[in-house]
Copies of this chain bind each other. A is one copy, B any other.
Amino acid sequence: MNETFSSPERTEKISNALRRRQPRLAVVLENIHDPHNVSAILRSCDAVGALKVHLLYTIEEFPDVAHTPSVGAHKWLEFERHTSVSSCFAALHNDGFQILATRIDPAAKPLYEHDLTRPTAFVLGNEHRGISGEVAALADGLLFIPMMGMAESLNVSVATAVCLFEAFRQRRERGMYDTPQLSPEALRSKEIEWQLK
């Protein structure tokens, strides 16, 4: 089957990407509205090897991830839709994730002081409203990206990338991209699934 659908180069690329995938690194998009932001975020998720993107849409409509200009990144990610904070967080807690919500808040700790080698889900909020009060109350921790300038905020796709690439940096130092984080069974089944994409 592989011979039919996949060149040796593609087979190897898929195998390498799967051996680096981080099933314990996830992102929750809470009502992020702009398709360009969603697209840029999906590209960053794929780049650092995140596996799953949780779409928590309680106000805005769910984004059409297959039609954002994400240069195909969405094909290599898994999506889970949620319409309530509690069901989204229950699913993540059930899988042992720490939930870190991004917010400029006196109770928040700087990004760089969080241990991001632990199973981690970052919650990013809507472009204008930020994360909801419910997310802030129910998250395991709040984080902020230190800002040295005059403006008050970053573009949300930029903020997501800064979080994800700090997780990448910490995990890379810990060797977490050198040994597969997926189980042998998951690797095998996803390899077949990805060859067919």
Interface set of A (CB-CB < 8 Å, partner B):
13-14, 17, 20-21, 36, 39-40, 43-49, 70-73, 75-76, 112, 145-155, 157-158, 161-162, 165-166, 168-169, 172, 177
Contact = CB atoms under 8 A, between A and B. Distances in A.
A76 B152 CA distance: 12
Tell me the dominant secondary structure on chain A's binding face.
Answer: helix
A128 to B, nearest CB: 11
Given A39-B155, A73-B150, A157-B158, 7 more contacts: A14-B150, A17-B150, A44-B154, A46-B149, A47-B148, A72-B151, A148-B177
A165 B147 CA distance: 10
Contacts of A149: 17, 20, 45-49, 73, 76
Contact of A148 (B20, B154, B166): B20
Contacts of A154: 40, 43-44, 47, 161
A45 to B, nearest CB: 8
A46 B151 contact: yes
A103 to B, nearest CB: 16
24 contacts: A14-B150, A17-B148, A40-B154, A40-B155, A43-B151, A44-B154, A44-B155, A46-B150, A47-B145, A47-B149, A49-B148, A49-B149, A72-B150, A73-B150, A76-B150, A76-B151, A146-B168, A148-B177, A158-B161, A161-B161, A161-B162, A162-B165, A165-B165, A166-B169
